[in-house]
Every structure is written in C-alpha cells, then in structure tokens.
Amino acid sequence: MHIEVIAVGKLKERYWTEALREYQKRLSAYVDLSIHEVPDEPAPETMSAAEQMQVLQREAEKIGKLLRPRDGIVLLDIQGKSYSSEQWSQTYSDLLGEAYGRLVFIIGGSNGVHPDLKKRARVRWSFGPLTLPHQLARVVLLEQLYRGIRIMRGEPYHK
C-alpha cells in the first residue's frame, strides 16, 4: 500500500525530522510512504472569517494538486473521531479493503482545513481534544500508523 502524508508547513527543527525519519524507517518494512510539505499561507494573528477562509482555500488548492481521484483521504481533524490504537488498527484494515489507489493523510495548517477537504475525507481522525503542534502531530501520525499496522499483523509492539 502506498501512503501519502500531506502536511501544511515545513519541519525545521532537527529533533522533529529525526523522529519522523525513525518512523519512516520503521514503516518502510510495511508500506511505501511519501511525505509532501505544502507551504503554509501567510496569515496575520487577527483575521476576519472571510480572510481565514481565503487562507484555507489557498492551502486547499495546493493540497488538491497532490490528490488523485482514487485516493482514500484521512484528515487529521480535532473534530474528527478519536480511536484507541486497536480501533485505529481495525479502521486502517477496513480502509485497505476499500481498494483505494493509495491512502492520503492530510495535516492542515494552524488555521485549520477548508470545508471542501473535510467533505472529501473518508475518515476524519482526531488525536483527542488536545491541540498539538503540527510538527508533533506528524510524528504521532507515523507512530500510530506503525502501531496500527503491527497490531493488525499480530506483531509485538502494542502494550
């Protein structure tokens, strides 16, 4: 299975990139993984709702250029569904059975995600009510993908 991670913003700190590389290495035994970073749009601290929607629209257009018609989209969304590791593993297994060309995980920017992307998502996944830095969300995503695959395969990892 090919998994694509599309994330708004760039990882800059070495500790985030090292953690990401570690999970990329672990996942490489199970999936073909690609990560694309989409530049975040400049946005002032205070914006009107219309200005925020324009920022989200421009980011969604960049993300949309990387999507294909047969993609199974999983959107990381604080308003999405929370899963235990076991539940996520089952959901991942179910997604594999739906014959998508690839699974695409989208991590939006600090202003959120445009409603059109939310509508396209097959799954909206929340890591809970906490607000995580986007860099940490990427690491958590890869770790949970790895954990879920290991659980699905009956391999030791989950405790």
Q: What is the CATH classification number for the domain harbouring 27?
A: 3.40.1280.10
pLDDT of residue 158: 59
67 is in an annotated binding site: no
Range of the domain at 17: 2-152
130 is in an annotated binding site: yes
131 is in an annotated binding site: yes
The CA distance from 49 to 58, in Å, is 14
Number of structural domains (the chain) is 1
pLDDT of residue 132: 85
The residue type at 155: E
Mean pLDDT of 9-24: 94
In terms of pLDDT, which residue wins out, 59 or 47? 59
Question: Rg for the chain (alpha carbons), in Å?
Answer: 15
The CA distance from 136 to 141, in Å, is 8
Helices (H), the chain: 14-27, 49-64, 85-96, 115-120, 134-152
Residue 159 reports pLDDT greater than 60 = no
Residue 99: inside a domain: yes
In terms of pLDDT, which residue wins out, 87 or 12? 87
132 is in an annotated binding site: yes
* DSSP designation for 100: -
105 is in an annotated binding site: no
Residue 22: inside a domain: yes
Strand, helix or coil at 104?
strand
Residue 159: inside a domain: no
Residue 108: inside a domain: yes
Tell me the pLDDT tens digit for each residue of 35-45.
Answer: 999 998 888 88
The CA distance from 83 to 105, in Å, is 15
46 is in an annotated binding site: no
Tell me the pLDDT tens digit for each residue of 64-117.
Answer: 999 999 999 999 998 999 999 999 999 999 999 998 999 999 999 888 899 999
Quick one: which of 114, 118, 88, 103 has its CA closest to 34? Answer: 103
Residue 20 reports pLDDT greater than 70 = yes
Residue 28 reports pLDDT greater than 70 = yes
| pTM for this predicted structure | 0.94
pLDDT of residue 57: 95
Residue 158: inside a domain: no
Residue 38: inside a domain: yes
76 is in an annotated binding site: yes
